[in-house]
Amino acid sequence: MAAKSLSDWLSYIESQHPSEIELGLDRGLKVLAELDLKRPNKKVITVAGTNGKGSSCALITQYLISIGRTVGTYTSPHFLRFNERVSLNDRECSDELLINAFEKIENARKDTPLTFFEFSTLAALLIFSELELDYWVLEVGLGGRLDSVNMIDTDLAVVTSISLDHTDWLGDSLDVIAREKAGIARSSKPLVSGVVNPPSSISEVAQALNAPLYQKGCDFAYAIDDGQYWSWSSEKAQYSNLPRPKLPIENAATVIQALMLLDEGVSQAQLEALFSNATLKGRFELVEKDPFVYIDVAHNPEAANELKSRVSQFDKKPIAVIGMLKDKDIASVLDILKDAFQSWKVCSLNVPRGASKSELLALLPSDVKGFDEFEGAYSEAVKQARVENRPVVIFGSFVTVSHYLEMREL
């Protein structure tokens, strides 16, 4: 294919496999062998979990950069540009590097069909390899054991959290889902689990692999000292008076344990700087001040609880603008947040798997207003917010947040 632009390539790779998702490693491993990649100078860190993967990857990446290491980070999905998925030292990858990688993968794959995510993952790994970086930080897309990120043997596996999600793909029990996510672990390599009340399958996977397991609440713990500070402890280290990060403390606590296992040294001053400065697009991010507007990709019960905690600190209850995908646990998310907002503006997401406004309205009070498009819901929320001097919070999906960001770019 004589593709000349990144958009050409993205259209092409979308057309090369009939399924958006097809779990399995065989196809990717076959092409990976042809690429003959070099591993990073130091370590591969792979992060799985139902919630908190993105913020954990961001914290790990930003810490490593702060101590002078070079880092390639692979995450998904993206908001506006595909380049967001492949970052080099926390900056978006260039079109040129991605196009070059896609060309090499196309030549290497021969007649092997690849999904969009497999193509994307291989491109990230190839770019990281060619740049000879110190660390690769890889976020699992779906599950763990059969996700294409798991083509690469990790040196440090991190499982952030476990809850019922993607049950059609991963199983309908926490024990089964935990086993799938812990499938990123490797023989004799450490596995860090930030899972609260962990299913026994996590320790079973670790034992079978002889992988040292570091479990939150057992091997390390954290405590919120007051609204501004928190502390962390394990048998080997203690840190107190840490500033409360903009990202969830639960994930920050797991990240500290992961950092402790990198043989890089972790100091109080380094952690204070990290938690004072670390940010991630779309995670309770303040994007406007007239009125105050926040965006948050919260789309499952665990993230909803975090969002509820955040908005409870406002002087006035905010106005919600929400759109969700129909395969998420909409009922639980809305139940958790039902009393957190003064009013709701509900919109349909007109994308594959998008929930209609009527599906959300059926679970909310009868006086909640629904909109066919995001723009209408947002406009109505802003009008009310200016009159009543309330903040607006846009949440429910990466898609919802992307609609806002796209609207701002116009």
DSSP 285-314: EEEEETTEEEE----SHHHHHHHHHHHTTS
Q: Indicate the CATH number for domain 285-409.
A: 3.90.190.20
pLDDT score, position 164 = 58
In the chain, domain spans: 6-277, 285-409
Domain over 6-277 is classified CATH 1.10.533.10: no
Question: Residue length, the chain?
Answer: 410
Lowest-pLDDT choice from 6-20, 72-86, 189-203: 6-20
Q: Which amino acid is at 405?
A: L
pTM for this predicted structure? 0.92
Q: Which of 285, 263, 19, 281 is nearest to 134 (CA)?
A: 263
> Beta strands of 133-208 (E only): which ranges?
135-139, 156-159, 191-193
- Identify the three-state secondary structure at position 152: coil
Number of H helices, E strands in the chain: 15, 17
Sequence-distant (6+) residues with CB within 8 A of 116 are 13, 14, 16, 17, 20
Can you name the residues that pair with 174 across neighbouring β-strands?
Answer: none
Contact 342/319 with Cβ under 8 angstroms?
A: yes
Average confidence (pLDDT) over 191-210: 95
Proportion of the chain above pLDDT 90, given as a percent:
84
pLDDT score, position 208 = 97
pLDDT score, position 1 = 46
pLDDT score, position 24 = 80
Contact 165/181 with Cβ under 8 angstroms?
A: no
Contact 300/290 with Cβ under 8 angstroms?
A: no
Q: Is the pLDDT of residue 93 over 80?
A: yes
- At 355-365, the pLDDT tens digits run 999 999 999 99
- Please report which residue ranges of 186-229 form alpha helices under DSSP H: 200-209
In which band, very low, low, confident or very high, does the pLDDT at 410 lie, cut at 50, 70 and 90? low
Q: Which of 328, 377, 381, 373 is nearest to 350 (CA)?
A: 373
- At 244-303, the pLDDT tens digits run 998 999 999 999 999 999 999 999 999 999 999 998 999 999 999 999 999 999 999 989
Contact 372/275 with Cβ under 8 angstroms?
A: no
Proportion of the chain above pLDDT 70, given as a percent:
96
Q: Is the pLDDT of residue 348 over 60?
A: yes
pLDDT score, position 327 = 86
Q: Which amino acid is at 143?
A: G
- At 129-169, the pLDDT tens digits run 999 999 999 999 988 899 999 999 999 999 998 875 544 44
- Burial label, 380 (beta-carbon count in 10 A; 0-12, 13-18, 19+): middle
In which band, very low, low, confident or very high, does the pLDDT at 4 lie, cut at 50, 70 and 90? confident
pLDDT score, position 249 = 92
Average confidence (pLDDT) over 312-337: 95
Contact 140/46 with Cβ under 8 angstroms?
A: yes
- Identify the three-state secondary structure at position 215: strand
